[in-house]
Amino acid sequence: MTLLDAGSGWQATGPAGMPEPPGSDEIAAGSAAARPLREAWRMFAGNPLALVGLAILAGIVVMTIIGPYLYPVDPFDIVGAPLTPPGEGGLLFGSDYLGRDMLAGIIHGGRASLTVGGFAAIITMAIGISIGALAGFYGGWADRVLMRVTEFFQVLPPLLLAMVLVTLFSPTLTTITLSIGVVSWTNVARLTRAEFLKIRSLDYVLAGRAVGARDRRLIWRVILPNALPPLVVAAALSVGVAILFESGLSFLGLGDPNVMSWGMMIGQNKQVMLDAWWPTTIPGAAIFAAVLSISLIGDGLNDALNPRLRRR
C-alpha cells in the first residue's frame, strides 16, 4: 500500500474524526506552561541570587575577553618594585614578589582559568555522559564493566591523579585540561546512569522502539534530552570544580609555566603571604568570585529545571 492511495482512503471515508465537544476535553493552548524553556528562564530570572551569579560571571568573562586589549600589559613583565602595594606606582592591584603587574595577572590569568575550566567541564561531561548513558541504557554486563571502571576512577584521589597525569605529559594548557577532565567525570557518569535507568523503562521509550527507533536514537535523541535538567546543573558545577582544580595544580607548580593563571599567582606568591596580603588575596578573591557565581547559577538552574518546583 502506498502512502498516496492510503491518503485517499481517508478522503473516501469523509471526515473520519469528529472533534470532541469543546469544554469536555479541551484545555487552553498557549498557557503559561506552553514553552518549557521560556518557563525555566522565568523561574531562573525570578531568583535574585542566580541573577547575581550570572552578572558576576558575565563580568568576569567580559573582562577576560576584552581586558587584554584594553590593558595590554604582559603579566610576565616586571613593571615596578616588588610588592608595590595596590594603588601605588600606577598599579591598581600592586605588584607581586617579582614586581609584575597584578592587574595584568588577574586579567590574563582569568582567561587561562576560565578556558581550562570550560573545556575541562566539556570533557568531564562528554566522558561522564557517554559512560553513564551506555551503562544505564544497556544494563547487564555493560553496566557492570562500566561501573567497575567508574569505581576505579572514583577511589583514586582526583587531584593526585591529575598531578601524575600532568607531570607525565609536561604541563601545558591542553594536558592540564585533559587531565582535569579525565579525573572528574565519575559523578556525572553516576548521575547520567541513574537518569537513564529511570527514563529507559518509561512508555515513551518503548513507544520509540515500537515505531522503529534504533538504540542510538533512543539514547541520544529520546532519553538524553529528558535527562538533561540535572546534567545542566552538573555541567555548571563542574566548570567551578575545574577552575578550582586548575588553581590547585598551578598552586602546586604544575601549571603551564608559559601561561599566567590565578592559581599560579597564588602559588608563586605564597612565600610572601606574611609580608604582603595582596599578591595572594586578590587572585584568591577572583577564584572565589568565579566559583561562587557559577555555583549560584547552578543552584538557580536546579530550581528552574526541576519540574516539581515548576508545576506550581
Residues that bind another protein (CB under 8 A): 1-4, 6-7, 9-10, 13, 15-20, 24-27, 29-31, 33-34, 36, 202-204, 206-214, 217, 222, 225-226
Three-state SS at 95: strand
SS3 37: helix
For the CB of residue 23, give the shortest distance to another protein in the complex, in Å: 11
DSSP letter assigned to residue 287: H
Find the shortest distance in angstroms from Cβ 219 to another protein.
13
Question: Measured from the CB atom, is 111 or 200 closer to another protein?
Answer: 200
- State the minimum distance, in angstroms, from the CB of residue 5 to another protein: 10
Distances in whole angstroms, Cα of residue 144 to Cα of each of 50, 193, 244: 38, 12, 31
Residue placing its CB nearer to another protein in the complex, 33 or 160: 33
Of 111, 100, 101, residue with least CA distance to 66: 111
CB of 30 to another protein, least distance (A): 8
Shortest Cβ 19–another protein spacing (Å): 6
Name which of 19 and 90 has its Cβ closer to another protein: 19
Closer CB to another protein, residue 17 or residue 72?
17
Q: Which is nearer to another protein, 36 or 48 (CB)?
A: 36
- Any idea what the Cα angle at residue 180 is, between residues 176 and 184, rounded to 5°? 175
For residue 105, what is its C-alpha cell?
595577572
Burial of 82 (0-12, 13-18, 19+ CB in 10 A): middle
DSSP assignment letter at 275: T
